[in-house]
A and B are shown apart, each in its own frame.
Chain A
Amino acid sequence: MVTFPYYQTSAMEALNAQAMALLNLFAARGYVREEPAVLQPAEIFLNRSGEEIRRRTFTLTDPSGRDLALRPDLTIPICREAVLANRALPARISYNGLVFRHQPGEPNRPTQFFQAGVELLGLGNARAGDAEILTLAVESLRVCGLKDFSLRIGDLALFGALVDGLSLPPQWRARLKRHFWRAGYVESLLHWLGHGDSAPKLPGSRAEIEALLQADAPLAGRTREEIISRAMDRAAEAASLHLDSKIADAIAELLDISGPAQEALAKIRALLKTIGINLDPQLAAMEARLATLKSLGVDLSRVQFTAHFGRNMEYYTGFVFELWARDKEGPVQVAGGGRYDSMMEMLGAKTPVSAVGCALRTERVLAAKMAGGA
């Protein structure tokens, strides 16, 4: 891969042919093709994504002073349009186009590449939605002629449900969930909760807290009530913040589980039993995804479950997956996707709208196919 790719005729023809095959498959499954603008208002990425996406987004200022961005993905503009246009749900949308990413510290990665993908918005039945997208991802690689690939799967909802079952203050549960995708950090939080000292103390009464707030300082965007209420929560949590060290250690152990999916799920079940936490609905959802893969003829020994697997894009909320193959240099991720149920509300939807989708790195798919698969 080069930083500034130049597509020769043969490469362009091969990519176009592959894209047609993909778009035809998507159309056959009921997905309509759409194409957002390459140049987007910067704020839709910068306000709604975290600094990680912002860091990788090319931004520019137009002559009138307006901030613009080259789209770093197509998911956000497609979801935004669905919100603005008040689309009938469920909506099935496909795309194929260039995205642009700054690659800090990795000068050999391309700053632009093609992505083809699908978004399934507002389907009430989450299990059916996961199955539909997972199926489509597998079929996509096959329609491109790539037969040999492996999968990595995970589920942020599994960890979310686990954390919801803990006797911790809500903001601590939220914090653990928010950082699920950061391997290492969550473990250090858990260790602190199970074995660490208690948090520094704030005064316990509302009157004392209000007295502290008399300082002549700007509220800086938060309301008085926001500050007081969080201070009181924190004072309360300082007294109660502790997790049974056995449970904290078991969760850390659980997060470390990784391996062939069926074995990994068995390990998780055994571990949950020892600490008396029931996650049967979430585990059943994972079993159902494995059944979907099996029915597609995917060898389950090539499906890896990683408990702490999230994606480095910050918007995933549930099921996540990656498909891997080999090009002539080694293993390469050719597709990825998952569930991002909070995205539509972040983009302005008045009610929660479920969302699940996947994207293919089509140039990598082509390179993997040329290299003869895994």
Chain B
Amino acid sequence: MATLTTSPLTLAIPSKGRLKDNCNAWFAGAGVTMEQTVGARGYRASFTGFPDVEVMLLSAGEIASSLLAGDIHLGITGEDLLREEAPELEGRMQLLKPLGFGFADVVVAVSQAWIDVSTMADLDDVCAAYAHTHRRRLRVATKYAQLTRSFFAQARISDYRIVPSAGATEGAPAAGTAEVIVDITTTGATLRDNGLKILDDGVILKSQAQLAASLSADWTAEARSACERLLRKLDPANPLHAGLAAHLPRA
């Protein structure tokens, strides 16, 4: 594993936005004070009274990939990003606690003009008809390629192809770069503004922020005890700190 810090335990939290504010509120509510310092190579912080814990401020996407790579022990980020980064979480990551903020749904959306399409079964018909009529597969724009693949496979849809989207996915059908999108939404307003609607059975994942542990990080005895101590403070009502040890690899 790559060593990003010298502290026994590393926790990464989102470096900006509402997720960061919600994390801070959660820490404050548990009586944990975070002191942020600007380090030479990105943002670092620490918790008062927890000298063996280093806090890193990373982008939400980096937190998911760092957990997977084992570069950090703990991380807080959206479940959508975790599941997209590692379709098979088992043995690689442990979701410790849904945090009750950062709610968002990953959904399948089509144009409102498609009045004949309201379910995945309809979409399946349209995919097949489209491949036949237009001699190419219907395109699904998304940044959630893995989630889309497994959801479409469950819905038994195969006549489509994924077009990777870096941003503004909701504009793809109007721009003509894809016919269907899989994207994240909280209220559905952005989708509606772009003339799109969510399929009745098109919710792939009801996501929220998760506290997750990497199973490939370097779990030394010091890291384990620092982790238990921190979680007992952050989440006293939940006996998860007792159960956590069983899920972590032995040092």
Distance of A47 Cα from B149 Cα, bound (Å): 15
Q: Which of A51, A52, A54 has the most CB of B within 10 A?
A: A51
B153 touches A52 (CB 8 A): yes
Question: Number of B interface residues, CB 8 Å?
Answer: 42
**Which one of A52, A104, A227, A314 lies within 8 Å of B116 (CB-CB)?**
A227
Would you list which residues of chain B between 81 and 98 have a CB under 8 Å from chain A? Answer: 87-88
**CB-CB under 8 A for A226 and B133, given A220-B111, A221-B179:** yes
Distance of A175 Cα from B119 Cα, bound (Å): 14
Shortest distance between the CB of A162 and any CB in chain B (Å): 19
Task: Say if the beta carbon of A289 comes within 8 Å of chain B.
Answer: no
Shortest distance between the CB of B170 and any CB in chain A (Å): 11
Interface size class, chain A: 35 or more
**Which one of A46, A182, A230, A314 lies within 8 Å of B129 (CB-CB)?**
A230
Task: Say if the beta carbon of B113 comes within 8 Å of chain A.
Answer: yes
**A75-83, A128-136, A209-217, A324-332 - the one binding chain B:** A209-217
Distance of A202 Cα from B118 Cα, bound (Å): 11
Query: What are the residues of chain A within 8 A of B126 when measuring CB–CB?
Result: 222, 230
Task: Say if the beta carbon of A50 comes within 8 Å of chain B.
Answer: yes
Task: Say if the beta carbon of B219 comes within 8 Å of chain A.
Answer: no
A51 touches B113 (CB 8 A): no
In the complex, per-residue mask of B169-187: 1 if CB is within 8 Å of any chain A CB, else 0: 0000110100110000000
A217 touches B113 (CB 8 A): yes
B114 touches A222 (CB 8 A): yes
Shortest distance between the CB of B91 and any CB in chain A (Å): 11
B149 touches A213 (CB 8 A): no
Distance of A221 Cα from B130 Cα, bound (Å): 9
Task: Say if the beta carbon of B232 comes within 8 Å of chain A.
Answer: no
Task: Say if the beta carbon of B159 comes within 8 Å of chain A.
Answer: yes
Shortest distance between the CB of B144 and any CB in chain A (Å): 14
Q: Which of B114, B122, B137 has the most CB of A within 10 A?
A: B114
Distance of A171 Cα from B139 Cα, bound (Å): 21
B114 touches A227 (CB 8 A): yes
A221 touches B196 (CB 8 A): no
Closest to A214 in B: B113
Shortest distance between the CB of B89 and any CB in chain A (Å): 13
**CB-CB under 8 A for A227 and B173, given A51-B160, A51-B162:** no
Distance of A185 Cα from B129 Cα, bound (Å): 20
Task: Say if the beta carbon of B16 comes within 8 Å of chain A.
Answer: no
B162 touches A175 (CB 8 A): no
Shortest distance between the CB of A234 and any CB in chain B (Å): 5
A218 touches B116 (CB 8 A): no
Number of A-B contacts (CB under 8 A): 95
Closest to B173 in A: A220
Distance of A110 Cα from B121 Cα, bound (Å): 35
Query: What are the residues of chain B within 8 A of A127 when measuring CB–CB?
Result: none
Shortest distance between the CB of A28 and any CB in chain B (Å): 38
**Which one of A50, A200, A202, A216 lies within 8 Å of B195 (CB-CB)?**
A216
Shortest distance between the CB of A190 and any CB in chain B (Å): 14
Shortest distance between the CB of B137 and any CB in chain A (Å): 6
Would you list which residues of chain A between 208 and 258 have a CB under 8 Å from chain B? Answer: 209, 212-213, 215-222, 226-227, 230-231, 234
Q: Is the interface of B mostly helix, strand, loop or mixed?
A: mixed
Task: Say if the beta carbon of A89 comes within 8 Å of chain B.
Answer: no
A213 touches B156 (CB 8 A): no
B153 touches A217 (CB 8 A): no
Task: Say if the beta carbon of B112 comes within 8 Å of chain A.
Answer: yes
Would you list which residues of chain B between 105 and 124 have a CB under 8 Å from chain A? Answer: 110-116, 118, 121-122, 124
A209 touches B115 (CB 8 A): yes
Task: Say if the beta carbon of B138 comes within 8 Å of chain A.
Answer: yes
B130 touches A222 (CB 8 A): yes
**Which one of A51, A219, A221 lies within 8 Å of B161 (CB-CB)?**
A51
A230 touches B196 (CB 8 A): no
Closest to A232 in B: B116
Query: What are the residues of chain A within 8 A of B136 when measuring CB–CB?
Result: 47
Query: What are the residues of chain B within 8 A of A171 when measuring CB–CB?
Result: 125, 129
Task: Say if the beta carbon of B101 comes within 8 Å of chain A.
Answer: no
Query: What are the residues of chain A within 8 A of B113 when measuring CB–CB?
Result: 213, 215, 217-220, 227
Task: Say if the beta carbon of A87 comes within 8 Å of chain B.
Answer: no
Task: Say if the beta carbon of A297 comes within 8 Å of chain B.
Answer: no
Distance of A125 Cα from B110 Cα, bound (Å): 44
Residues of A within 8 A of B (CB): 46-47, 50-52, 54-55, 104-105, 171, 174-175, 178-179, 182, 185, 200, 202, 209, 212-213, 215-222, 226-227, 230-231, 234, 314, 346, 348
> What would 21 A/B residue contacts be, using CB atoms closer than 8 Å?
A47-B137, A50-B137, A50-B158, A51-B149, A51-B158, A51-B160, A52-B153, A175-B121, A175-B124, A215-B112, A217-B111, A217-B113, A218-B174, A220-B113, A221-B130, A221-B134, A222-B130, A227-B114, A230-B126, A314-B158, A346-B135
